[in-house]
Amino acid sequence: MLVYIRLFKESFSFAFSALANNKLRTFLSLLGVTIGIFSIIAVLAAVDSLDKNIKDQLSALDSNTMYLSSFSFGPTDVPRWKWRTFDKISYTEYKYLKESLPQVEEMAYQLFVPRESIRYESELIQSVNTVAVSSEFSDIQRLEFKKGRFYNEMESNAGRPVVVIGSEIADALFGELEPIGRKVRLYGQKFTVIGVVKKEGSGLFGDSNDISIFLPSNFVRTRYGENVSSMVPVVIIKPESSVNSDDVEAELVQLLRNKRGLRPDEVNSFFISVVEGLQDFIDGIIGSMNAIGWVISIFSLLVGGFGIANIMFVSVKERTNIIGIQKSLGAKNKFILFQFLFEAVILAVVGGIVGLIMVWFGTLIASQAAEDFDFVLSFKNMLIGFFISSFIGLISGVVPAISASRLDPVEAIRTGM
């Protein structure tokens, strides 16, 4: 056992000395591996960061939450021309489903409306994300409030001119003033601010709540009607946690088909999108991005690996006479093999560590630049980078190391002379 420990130690020492004596060549070899490891770990870290932030955004919703609409939130087999002819979900259908569909915890009615301008005295904010929803929306989205509250069912049903605003909207309009109870101008009339949503950061699916305003959908509906082409209604359904969401979805389909008088041979003239299905769809996209990132990064790693192999062959050629002298003095093939193998592995590992450090600094800088987006460099990805770099060094160095260990000592000395 001691013999092998000494063999490893001496081989490592010879390899390190050889690298130190050829600094420029060592640097160029390191550069190839560093770029390769940096590429693959940077891609993995970026995809993991995107995945984490998307799931953090979706975590506000129950995975069983459903969106009933005249269009699909994801891929569909129904041709575009066909679903564009579907009737919009009406408020009457929403009320019918709310009364008829059992085992539902909350059901909200939302109108996707154009952006609006909001004014307080001389302060004006244009093109604000406007969310027209019924009162149940707050519980479904689990909105948290910095100040005030969301509008209640009575205010929602009556379409009262009340508004809940995001934290950035509040800061821009009122500054240090107390926003609750103040009058803002919206849709050509005055609205009373009754709540300010707690700051949440940037949103990955559209605008953040920080730069949004919320008002009763019935205000917009009664003012403009339901057939305005620029407004699209959606019903958001949150089933009870104790029930099977598939059963709720099946009953929802049957109720709405009956309400619309669809024949058995007719396709559904509406779509039901489930958050869980959206998560699966996103996981598929993330997986594809990971695969593409690996393919691109592997080319970088191959360049680094070929660079190490090339340098190792040159190193064997330059030190042929030294190898011959070592073998004539009793050095075994294992010693020569490990000497060159360690040299290749050291090159790759050091290059990999430098690449990891670069990614780490990159994530710190990116996190500072984008305060609302968390960049993640997991310990798992760091281990992947370390093992990949070691493997690249091992593979790149094995052929040159074997060729060096098999040299005939006499021929090696003569070649060197």
Residue 371 has pLDDT above 80, yes or no: no
248 shares a domain with 100:
yes
Residue 201: inside a domain, yes or no? yes
Enter the DSSP assignment of 73: S
Residue 31: inside a domain, yes or no? yes
Nearest to 169, CA basis, from 152, 139, 140, 147: 147
Mean pLDDT, rounded, for 262-269: 87
Q: Pick the most confident of 122-126, 214-218, 323-327.
A: 214-218
* Bigger pLDDT: 107 vs 314: 107
Mean pLDDT, rounded, for 169-178: 91
* Bigger pLDDT: 380 vs 1: 380
Nearest to 311, CA basis, from 338, 348, 336, 349: 348
Residue 65: inside a domain, yes or no? no
Residue 204 has pLDDT above 50, yes or no: no
Distances (CA, A) of 376 to 55, 281, 288, 361, 380: 13, 22, 19, 12, 11
Q: What angle do CA 89, 93, 96 make, to 5 degrees?
A: 160
Indicate the pLDDT class of residue 115, thresholds 50, 70 and 90. very high
pLDDT for the residue 169: 93
300 shares a domain with 263:
no
Last residue of some domain: 269, 302, 327? 269
Q: What is the pTM (predicted TM-score) of this model? A: 0.63
* Bigger pLDDT: 257 vs 12: 257
261 shares a domain with 303:
no
Last residue of some domain: 269, 297, 317? 269
Q: What mean pLDDT, rounded, does the chain reach? A: 79
pLDDT for the residue 390: 75
Bridge partners of 124, per DSSP, are: 119
Residue 329: inside a domain, yes or no? yes
233 shares a domain with 125:
yes
Please name the residues in contact with 361: beta carbons below 8 A apart, sequence gap of 6 or more. Answer: none
292 shares a domain with 175:
no
Residue 71: inside a domain, yes or no? no
Count of CB atoms situated within 10 Å of the CB of 382: 18
* Bigger pLDDT: 209 vs 64: 209
Residue 98: inside a domain, yes or no? yes
251 shares a domain with 114:
yes
Q: Using only C-alpha atoms, what is the Rg of the chain?
A: 33
Least confident of 5-19, 102-116, 326-340: 5-19
Token representation of residue 222 = 């009664």
pLDDT for the residue 212: 92
The amino acid sitting at 120 is Y
Residue 114 has pLDDT above 50, yes or no: yes
Mean pLDDT, rounded, for 194-215: 79
* Bigger pLDDT: 88 vs 285: 88
Query: CA 240: distance to chain centroid?
Result: 29
Token representation of residue 64 = 């069983």
374 shares a domain with 246:
no
Report the domain count for the chain: 2
Residue 288: inside a domain, yes or no? yes
The domain in which residue 41 lies consists of 2-57+281-416
Last residue of some domain: 239, 269, 299? 269
Residue 176 has pLDDT above 90, yes or no: no
Q: SS3 of 225, please?
A: coil
d(CA 159, CA 45): 46
Residue 37 has pLDDT above 90, yes or no: no
Percent of the chain with pLDDT over 70: 76
Give, to the nearest 10 degrees, the angle between helix 275-318 and helix 23-58.
Answer: 170
Backbone angles phi, psi at 153, to 5 degrees: -65, -40
Residue 277 has pLDDT above 90, yes or no: no
The end-to-end CA distance of the chain, in Å, is 37
Mean pLDDT, rounded, for 291-314: 72
* Bigger pLDDT: 158 vs 41: 158
Nearest to 337, CA basis, from 390, 414, 397: 397
348 shares a domain with 258:
no
Residue 326 has pLDDT above 90, yes or no: no
Spatial contact of 380 and 348, defined as CB atoms under 8 Å apart: no
pLDDT for the residue 61: 54
Spatial contact of 224 and 211, defined as CB atoms under 8 Å apart: no
Indicate the pLDDT class of residue 209, thresholds 50, 70 and 90. confident
d(CA 223, CA 255): 29
145 shares a domain with 240:
yes
176 shares a domain with 122:
yes
Least confident of 44-53, 101-110, 111-120: 44-53
**pLDDT one-digit tens code per residue, 134-173:** 999 998 888 889 999 999 999 999 999 999 999 999 999 9
**Concatenated DSSP letters of 371-406:** TTS-----HHHHHHHHHHHHHHHHHHHHHHHHHHHT
d(CA 304, CA 348): 8
Query: CA 261: distance to chain centroid?
Result: 42
189 shares a domain with 258:
yes
pLDDT for the residue 235: 93
Residue 76: inside a domain, yes or no? no
133 shares a domain with 21:
no
